[in-house]
């Protein structure tokens, strides 16, 4: 099945009618718009406050058959294909360096043969990732620009081809939506954008029943990361760490003190982004240090 980007929303919500129904284990593709909904196309198009009205469109929502309240969606990212250019902006007052920016500027960045042509001097391979991926939240609708326990705008650069994202199901079908592809983004996203671009993703969703995980979680071949968001970066970091503590206790059978020491010895606390209404942190646990507790330390049971 293929879902086009005309089917998009600007809030994660249980009130949205699904645009498609997918069986667990069925691969599907979806076209995703960039974070500006395609409204910035050239360097003459300058960012302004009106762009926030259509920020971070998310394709969907997609109804996952058999997903019920209390289940967990395991969303496997098989592929991310990006357009032939990306967009970056700087704007006075926006992002962590906004107080140093005096003039709004848009840069169009060509993507050629899998490489991002940042400038005449800098040309590097792309590493496409999904910035927004989430389910309908437990309560009221939440704009797609805000991350939370339902996932959404986490801007976690681990969400690349090959990774699996674990998300909670609060409503029947989960109502999965995704958008905000970056061809490349550094941790922090400090100027308020990564290399924003349109693209197409190929996904596969499993439904985990009878499993408790401190979602959202991102799993790669090498690590498992717990993710948390809060307006206060310290609290986001604290919550991501506490989620990992819970995971180590419940999934890997560590006693609490051992889990705390294990994290200090092996795990890395990192910032995903600091520019959205809620900031996002992740705690990364390397699988290589988990194998003594489980020879196959994957979360996809």
The answer on pLDDT for 248 being more than 90 is: yes
pLDDT tens across 24-80, in order? 999 999 999 999 999 999 999 898 877 777 899 999 999 999 999 999 999 999 999
pLDDT tens across 163-209, in order? 999 999 999 999 999 999 999 999 999 999 999 999 999 999 999 99
The per-residue pLDDT for 47 is 86
The per-residue pLDDT for 51 is 75
123-125 β-sheet, strand order = 85-90, 105-112, 115-117, 123-125
Q: Quick one: tokens of 179?
A: 């958008």
Phi, psi of 5, rounded to the nearest 5 degrees: -75, -10
Answer for the pair 95, 192: CB distance below 8 angstroms, yes or no.
yes
The per-residue pLDDT for 301 is 54
All structural domains of the chain: 2-9+21-208 (2.60.120.580), 217-289 (3.10.28.20)
Is the full-model pTM beyond 0.85?
yes
Burial label, 6 (beta-carbon count in 10 A; 0-12, 13-18, 19+) = exposed
The per-residue pLDDT for 277 is 86
Of 176, 161, 155, which Cα lies nearest the Cα of 271?
A: 155
- Could you count the other beta carbons within 10 Å of the beta carbon of residue 76? 18
The answer on pLDDT for 234 being more than 80 is: yes
């Amino acid at each position: 099945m293929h879902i086009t980007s005309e089917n998009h929303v600007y809030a994660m919500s249980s009130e949205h009618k699904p645009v498609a129904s997918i069986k667990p284990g069925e691969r599907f593709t979806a076209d995703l718009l960039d974070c500006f909904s395609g409204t910035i196309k050239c360097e003459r198009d300058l960012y302004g406050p009106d762009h926030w009205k259509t920020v971070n469109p998310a394709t969907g929502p997609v109804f996952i058959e058999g997903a019920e309240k209390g289940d967990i969606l395991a969303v496997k990212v098989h592929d991310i294909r990006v357009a032939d250019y990306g967009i970056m902006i700087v704007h006075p007052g926006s992002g962590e360096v906004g107080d140093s920016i005096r003039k709004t500027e848009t840069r169009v960045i060509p993507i050629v043969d899998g490489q991002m042509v940042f400038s005449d001097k800098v040309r590097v391979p792309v590493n496409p990732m999904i910035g927004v991926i989430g389910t309908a939240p437990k309560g009221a609708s939440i704009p797609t620009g805000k991350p939370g326990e339902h996932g959404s705008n986490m801007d976690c650069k681990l969400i690349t081809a090959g990774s699996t994202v674990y998300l909670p199901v609060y409503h029947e079908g989960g109502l999965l939506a995704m958008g905000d592809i970056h061809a490349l983004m550094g941790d922090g996203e400090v100027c308020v954008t990564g290399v924003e671009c349109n693209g197409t993703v190929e996904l596969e969703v499993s439904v985990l029943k009878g499993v408790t995980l401190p979602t959202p979680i991102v799993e790669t071949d090498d690590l498992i990361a717990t993710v948390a968001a809060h307006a206060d970066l310290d609290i986001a970091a604290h919550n991501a760490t506490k989620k990992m503590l819970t995971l180590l206790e419940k999934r890997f059978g560590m006693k609490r003190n051992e889990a705390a020491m294990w994290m200090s010895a092996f795990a890395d606390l990192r910032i995903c982004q600091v520019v959205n209404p809620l900031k996002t942190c992740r705690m990364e646990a390397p699988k290589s240090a988990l194998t003594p507790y489980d020879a196959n330390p994957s979360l996809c049971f």
